[in-house]
Amino acid sequence: MHINVLGPVSVAADGKHHGIQSNKVRAMLATLALDAGRAVSHADLADELWAGRPLGNTRNALQAHATRLRKALDRHPPGRRGTTVLRAVRGGYLLDVPPACVDGNRFLDLATRGAAALSVHPERAIELLQAGLELWQGPALLDAGDGLRCRGAAALFDERRLTAWEDLVRARIAVEDTSRAVAELRRLVAQHPLRERFCELLMLALYRTGRQADALELFHATRRRLDEELGVRPGIVLQRRHTEILSQDPALSLSTATAAP
């Protein structure tokens, strides 16, 4: 059994994803999954599920949702019969599964290992980063509710996803798979036009494929967008990359050219 939070919250077993119909039960599962193997207090669960709105009997409401969640989880037991992965503990509840049962944790592990391998073994970095990014089924914690824990975790996951994409295209450039890097970067720039790191990497990839004019035009388009939408100038890294491409700096052909600023 696995629990998915990188997209709609669901339970996966036997190759199939099983959704949770109730909003509160789904939010409870997501909150516990973010701390898999550790207890979450009644107070923290109540804050997440009801956002500080007072209830007549919080413990009874949590117990009712826990009963429904336990039934959903126990359809796909990870261990021996008669056991349950949702345990009531003193002052709260605990999802008794290894952290690796949650796709978000597996993604973070793969992304961290991929980033560490990037400078010494870019081929291995590509394998790890692709495996991590393939776990995603949509925006993180898509239907986990509006609780602060889940929204905060979703923002962190989504940011780490973008960083993993940056590392992946850097690895592709390092192994001279530049055409594929250009294709991926064009999509990423279209989706995140104000993220300067994607623009800077695409400028480098275009330059390395002999498209200096396209790289310079991308810089000017990004500069206009930053001015129109945010009222700011390109950052120092993007400006430096523009200068290097203008002067056809020999350093652009070195493996260190993709290094994170």
The CATH number of whichever domain residue 93 belongs to comes to 1.10.10.10
C-alpha 196/C-alpha 189 separation (Å) is 9
What would the pLDDT profile of 196-225 be if each residue is shown by its tens digit?
A: 999 999 999 999 999 999 999 999 999 999
In a domain, 115, yes or no: no
In a domain, 129, yes or no: no
pTM: 0.90
In a domain, 169, yes or no: no
- If one counts the domains in the chain, the total is 2
In a domain, 15, yes or no: yes
C-alpha 18/C-alpha 20 separation (Å) is 7
Provide the pLDDT for residue 74.
79
Provide the pLDDT for residue 253.
83
Contact 27, 144 (CB under 8 A): yes
Out of 66, 98, 130, a domain closes at: 98
The CATH number of whichever domain residue 247 belongs to comes to 1.25.40.10
Instruction: Calculate helix-pair angle for 178-191, 196-208, nearest 10 degrees.
Output: 150
Out of 98, 127, 155, a domain closes at: 98
Contacts 24+ apart (CB under 8 A), 244-250: 245/203, 245/204, 245/207, 245/212, 245/215, 245/216, 245/219, 246/216, 248/212
**Is the same domain home to 94 and 181?**
no
Q: Which amino acid is at 56?
A: G
Tokens of 106: 């597996």
In a domain, 94, yes or no: yes
In a domain, 32, yes or no: yes
What would the pLDDT profile of 177-203 be if each residue is shown by its tens digit?
A: 999 999 999 999 999 999 999 999 999
Those residues of the chain that have pLDDT short of 50 are: 79-80, 82
Residue 171: name the closest of 220, 222, 133 by CA.
133
Out of 33, 66, 98, a domain closes at: 98
In a domain, 223, yes or no: yes
In a domain, 197, yes or no: yes
Domain that holds residue 74: 2-98
